[in-house]
Copies of this chain bind each other. A is one copy, B any other.
Amino acid sequence: MNTNYQLYQKHLKKISDIGFAAAVLQWDQETYMPPKGAALRAQQLATLSGLVHEHFTDEKLGKLLDELIKDTSLSDKEFKNVMHTHKDYYKQKKYSTGFVEEISRTVSETFQAWHQAKINNDFKSYAPFLDKLLTLKKKECELLGYENHPYDAMLDQYEPGAKSAHLKILFNDVKANLVEFVKQIAQKPQNADAFMFAEYDEQKQWDFSLYLLKQMGYDFEAGRQDKSSHPFTTHFNAHDVRVTTRVNKNDLNEIIWSTIHEGGHALYEQGLPITEYGLPSGEYISLGIHESQSRLWENNIGRSLAYWEYNFPKLQELFPQNLGDKTALDFYKAMNIVKPSFIRTNADELTYHFHILIRFEIEMALFEEKLAVNELPELWNAKYKEYLGIDVPNDTKGVLQDVHWSHGSFGYFPTYSLGSFYAAQFMHTATQQISNLEEKIKAGNLMPLLEWLRINIHQYGKQYLADELCQKISGEKLNFNYFMTYAKEKYSFLYNL
């Protein structure tokens, strides 16, 4: 093998070792760290992330990449790895130390201000901080550069290759089709779900969640589930991928769909090639594709009737008092209630995308200088009225609900919707290519689906961009129709439309 390429690999693996060490510290912080440990843990994490930055912007790496990018002896996979790192290296190099520090300080201040403002329902005190951060982020767009729209520079951080022009079309489709469909559902009688909020023994819930993970094919020799206040997935390499979940004694929904959701993320990470550790070919493609894996399992599988035809009897056995007189169909209806609400994270599978649509439109307006920060609450509330038909009672339950903007994470929200839309498109193809998939799911056999995901998505790491992969799998680029078709078929049945 090429000596330069070997040096490049060594350099990247070292950076990953440090970065994944930081990830272990973060996992510990969210699961087992005693409270007083927090202060010095933050300092230890800052040191590690400084080391990652230092090693990634090392001139020696730059020279190596400049030589490798012209090296015609590289294999296709090797070349793609070099290309990704080359791009990221020169992106990082565009940031001056001063700018990085200013952003980092401003994020920290904005986060504090947001935290207080949310408690006090006081957007005004928060607005100047957000305004300052937004100004810096706009500066960052200019720094990074873009072809057509400054927002594309933001998007590219989370969804490499994504363009706002394409997202506009996508979200116009959401507006044109999904808003109307949800209005039809609203006219129908609501399904019953009170039994989901009875008392459920926590240990039994926990055991059931482990059962679901095993059934999905999650490898407990290469991962584990713990509890944390917000469920998440993290990985330190493809052989150590961990999930967390939370148990609510009075809401069966929480553990079930958070476990399946995080399980979906984790199956992706466990399926990435361990031999490519530290290289782009061993990494996930984008947040949108990552989310496609969690949502495919959570919604397309985990909220399907076929899945519960097999699993509901097991659940019923655990909780005969609450579920003894219910059927898989009752359960299916209860887990798929469509109802507009204020809070994104509590939204159902359909109205969820209105929350994202609103954030996307607002972010675009901010980056196009068509909207000032102090006008945000008014526009937010107007859009919630328009798309969801609800009156936002206050900013805490409105524009202040999410942390993302206070982290400077503009361009992040759209990846949530992209995840669902990719999932629908992938499931469409999977259903065509796996014989009798639904029958297999009804028999509790999820392995053919996992195998399909492994072969078609996981094994490639970042060798394809999201759109390239989508084309390769389904024969076309991302197309909202797949989601709409899925939604119509499922919810027309559920609501007798």
Contacts and interface: CB of A to CB of B under 8 A. Distances in A.
Given A17-B47, A44-B236, A220 B24 contact: no
A36 B277 contact: no
A51 interface: yes
B40 A240 contact: yes
Contact of A37 (B43, B222, B226): B222
Interface in A218-268: 219-224, 226, 236-237, 239-240, 242
Contact of A33 (B17, B36, B220, B240): B240
A35 B221 contact: yes
A224 B224 CA distance: 20
A356 B296 CA distance: 61
A48 interface: yes
Interface string A45-67: 00110010000000000000000
Contact of A17 (B13, B48, B224): B48
A237 to B, nearest CB: 4
A44 B22 contact: no
Contacts of A43: 13, 17
A312 B17 CA distance: 49
Interface SS of chain A: helix, strand, loop or mixed?
Answer: helix
Interface string A195-234: 0000000000000000000000001111110100000000
A367 to B, nearest CB: 37
A28 B37 contact: no
A274 B38 CA distance: 13
A304 B337 CA distance: 64
Interface string A1-33: 000000000000110011011101100100011
Nearest to A270: B36
A41 interface: yes
Contacts of A240: 33-34, 36-37, 40-41
A28 B32 CA distance: 10
Contacts of A13: 43
Contacts of A32: 32, 224, 226
A224 B24 contact: no
Contact of A39 (B20, B39, B239, B242): B239
Interface string A375-411: 0000000000000000000000000000000000000
A194 B151 CA distance: 75
Contacts of A35: 221
A47 B39 CA distance: 25
Interface-central residue, A35, A47, A239, A240, by most chain B CB under 10 Å: A240
Given A20-B44, A34-B220, 18 more contacts: A17-B47, A17-B48, A18-B47, A18-B48, A21-B22, A21-B25, A21-B44, A24-B25, A24-B28, A32-B224, A33-B240, A34-B224, A34-B239, A35-B221, A39-B239, A40-B239, A40-B274, A51-B51
A-B pairs with the 7 shortest C-beta distances?
A37-B240, A17-B47, A36-B239, A40-B237, A36-B222, A17-B44, A36-B221
29 contacts: A17-B44, A17-B47, A18-B47, A18-B48, A18-B51, A20-B40, A20-B44, A21-B44, A21-B47, A24-B25, A24-B28, A32-B224, A33-B240, A34-B220, A34-B223, A34-B240, A34-B242, A36-B219, A36-B239, A36-B240, A37-B236, A37-B239, A37-B240, A40-B237, A40-B240, A40-B277, A41-B236, A41-B240, A51-B51
